[in-house]
Amino acid sequence: MRIEELPVDERIRRVILGRGIEELYPPQAEALRSGVLEGKNLVLAIPTASGKTLVSEIVMINKLLREGGKAVYLVPLKALAEEKYREFKAWESLGLRVAATTGDYDSTDEWLGRYDIIVATAEKFDSLLRHGAGWIRDVKLVIADEVHLIGSYDRGATLEMILSHMLDKAQILALSATVGNAEELAGWLDATLVVSDWRPVELRKGVFHLGELMWEDGKRESYPENWESLALDAVRKGKQALVFVNTRRSAEKEAVSLSSKMARLLTKPEVRELRELADSLESNPTNEKLKRAIRGGVAFHHAGLSRAERTMIEDAFRDGLIKVITATPTLSAGINLPAFRVIIRDTKRYSGFGWTDIPVLEIQQMMGRAGRPKYDRVGEAIIVARTEDPKTLMERYVKGKPEKLFSMLANENAFRSQVLALITNFGIGNFRELIDFLGRTFYFHQRKDTSSIEYKAKDIVYFLIENEFIDMDLNDRFIALPFGKRTSQLYIDPLTAKKFRDAFPKLEENPNPFGIFHLIASTPDMATLRARKREFEDYLDLAYEFEEKLYTEIPYYEDYGFQGFLGEVKTAKVLLDWINEVPEGRIYETYGIDPGDLYRILELADWLIYSLIELYKLFEPKKDVLSYLRDLHLRLRHGVREELLELVRLPNIGRRRARALYNAGFRTQDDVVRAKVRDLLAVEGIGMKVVEGLFRHFGVELPEKAKKGGKTAERRKKGTLDDFLS
DNA sequence: AGTAAACTACTCTAGACAGCATGTC
DNA sequence: CTAGAGTAGTTTACT
Q: What pLDDT does A560 receive?
A: 85
- Spatial distance between the Cα atoms of A383 and A365, rounded to a whole number of angstroms: 13
Pairing type for strands A212-215 and A202-209 reads antiparallel
Q: Out of A87-91, A393-397, A486-490, A685-689, which region has the weakest mean confidence (pLDDT)?
A: A685-689
Q: Is the CB of A643 under 7 A from strand B?
A: no
Please, are residues A519 and A605 in contact by the beta-carbon 8 Å criterion? no
Query: What's the CA A302/C1' B9 distance, rounded, in angstroms?
Result: 30
Of A594, A624, A631, A602, nearest to A520 by C-alpha is A602
- Spatial distance between the Cα atoms of A517 and A605, rounded to a whole number of angstroms: 8
Q: Which helix (H) or strand (E) holds A703?
A: none
**Topology, domain A494-639:** Sec63 N-terminal domain-like fold (1.10.3380)
Q: Is the CB of A715 under 7 A from strand B?
A: no
User: pLDDT digit string (tens) for A156-167?
Assistant: 999 999 999 999
The β-bridge partners of A208 are: A213, A384
Q: What pLDDT does A17 receive?
A: 95
Q: What pLDDT does A719 receive?
A: 67
Nucleotide closest in space to A253 (CA vs C1'): C5
Would the CA dihedral through A190, A195, A199, A204 be positive or negative? positive
Residues in chain A: 726
User: pLDDT digit string (tens) for A619-648?
Assistant: 999 999 999 999 999 999 999 999 999 999
Q: What pLDDT does A693 receive?
A: 85
- Domain A412-480 part of CATH 1.10.10.10: yes
- Spatial distance between the Cα atoms of A380 and A340, rounded to a whole number of angstroms: 6
Which is higher by pLDDT, A568 or A704? Answer: A568
**C6 nearest neighbour residue (CA to C1'):** A249
pLDDT above 90 (res A697): no
The β-bridge partners of A172 are: A142
- Domain A3-195 part of CATH 3.40.50.2020: no
Query: What's the CA A196/C1' B13 distance, rounded, in angstroms?
Result: 36
Of A658, A606, A598, A651, nearest to A633 by C-alpha is A606
Strand B close residues, chain A 486-545, CB < 7 angstroms: 489-491, 525, 527, 530, 532-535
Mean pLDDT of A108-113: 74
Strand B close residues, chain A 353-382, CB < 7 angstroms: none
Would the CA dihedral through A462, A468, A473, A477 be positive or negative? negative
Q: Is the CB of A215 under 7 A from strand B?
A: no
Q: Is the CB of A253 under 7 A from strand B?
A: no
- Spatial distance between the Cα atoms of A190 and A573, rounded to a whole number of angstroms: 51
Please, are residues A593 and A587 in contact by the beta-carbon 8 Å criterion? yes
Query: What's the CA A279/C1' B19 distance, rounded, in angstroms?
Result: 37
Query: What's the CA A668/C1' B20 distance, rounded, in angstroms?
Result: 26
**C2 nearest neighbour residue (CA to C1'):** A355
Tell me the CA end-to-end span of chain A in Å, nearest whole number.
73
Write down the mean pLDDT value for chain A: 92
Q: Is the CB of A467 under 7 A from strand C?
A: no
- Spatial distance between the Cα atoms of A128 and A135, rounded to a whole number of angstroms: 10
Please, are residues A669 and A647 in contact by the beta-carbon 8 Å criterion? yes
Q: Is the CB of A356 under 7 A from strand C?
A: yes
Mean pLDDT of A291-319: 95
pLDDT above 80 (res A264): yes
Long-range contacts of A445-452 (CB under 8 A, 24+ apart): A445/A184, A445/A187, A445/A188, A446/A184, A446/A188, A446/A406, A446/A407, A447/A407, A452/A410
Mean pLDDT of A512-522: 97
User: pLDDT digit string (tens) for A188-210?
Assistant: 999 999 999 999 999 999 999 98
Please, are residues A208 and A385 in contact by the beta-carbon 8 Å criterion? yes
Mean pLDDT of A690-701: 84
Mean pLDDT of A204-226: 94
**B13 nearest neighbour residue (CA to C1'):** A350
Long-range contacts of A182-186 (CB under 8 A, 24+ apart): A182/A43, A182/A45, A184/A404, A184/A405, A184/A445, A184/A446, A185/A43, A185/A147, A185/A150, A185/A405, A185/A442, A186/A43
Same fold for the pair A202-398 and A494-639:
no
Q: How many alpha carbons fall within 13 Å on the CB side of residue A217? A: 5
- Spatial distance between the Cα atoms of A263 and A244, rounded to a whole number of angstroms: 21
Quickly list DSSP for A149-212.
Answer: GGG-TTTHHHHHHHHHHHTTTSEEEEEE---TTHHHHHHHHTEEEEE----SSEEEEEEEETTE
Q: What pLDDT does A449 receive?
A: 87
User: pLDDT digit string (tens) for A485-502?
Assistant: 999 999 999 999 999 999
Q: What pLDDT does A108 receive?
A: 57
Q: Is the CB of A346 under 7 A from strand B?
A: no
**B22 nearest neighbour residue (CA to C1'):** A630
Mean pLDDT of A297-310: 95
Would the CA dihedral through A484, A488, A489, A491 be positive or negative? positive
Q: Is the CB of A350 under 7 A from strand C?
A: yes
The β-bridge partners of A144 are: A74, A174
Please, are residues A142 and A329 in contact by the beta-carbon 8 Å criterion? no
Which amino acid makes up residue A706? A
Mean pLDDT of A602-617: 97
pLDDT above 50 (res A665): yes
Q: What pLDDT does A713 receive?
A: 47
pLDDT above 60 (res A710): no
Contacts of A722 (CB under 8 A, 6+ apart): none
Q: Is the CB of A532 under 7 A from strand C?
A: no
Of A597, A445, A571, nearest to A514 by C-alpha is A571
Mean pLDDT of A551-555: 95
A28 annotated ligand binder: yes
Which residue ranges make up each domain of chain A? Answer: 3-195, 202-398, 412-480, 494-639, 644-725
> How far is Cα of residue A14 from the mean position of the Cα atoms in its chain?
35
Contacts of A464 (CB under 8 A, 6+ apart): A419, A420, A423, A470, A484, A494
Of A23, A3, A39, nearest to A192 by C-alpha is A39
Q: Is the CB of A353 under 7 A from strand C?
A: yes
pLDDT above 50 (res A561): yes
Strand C close residues, chain A 375-394, CB < 7 angstroms: 386-387
Q: What is the CATH number of domain A202-398?
A: 3.40.50.300
pLDDT above 90 (res A676): no
Strand B close residues, chain A 671-690, CB < 7 angstroms: none
Query: What's the CA A406/C1' C3 distance, rounded, in angstroms?
Result: 28
Nucleotide closest in space to A251 (CA vs C1'): B14
A644-725: CATH architecture: Orthogonal Bundle (1.10)
Please, are residues A108 and A123 in contact by the beta-carbon 8 Å criterion? no
Of A151, A148, A146, nearest to A406 by C-alpha is A151
The β-bridge partners of A244 are: A327, A344
Query: What's the CA A334/C1' B17 distance, rounded, in angstroms?
Result: 14
The β-bridge partners of A478 are: A472
Of A553, A603, A552, A550, nearest to A573 by C-alpha is A550
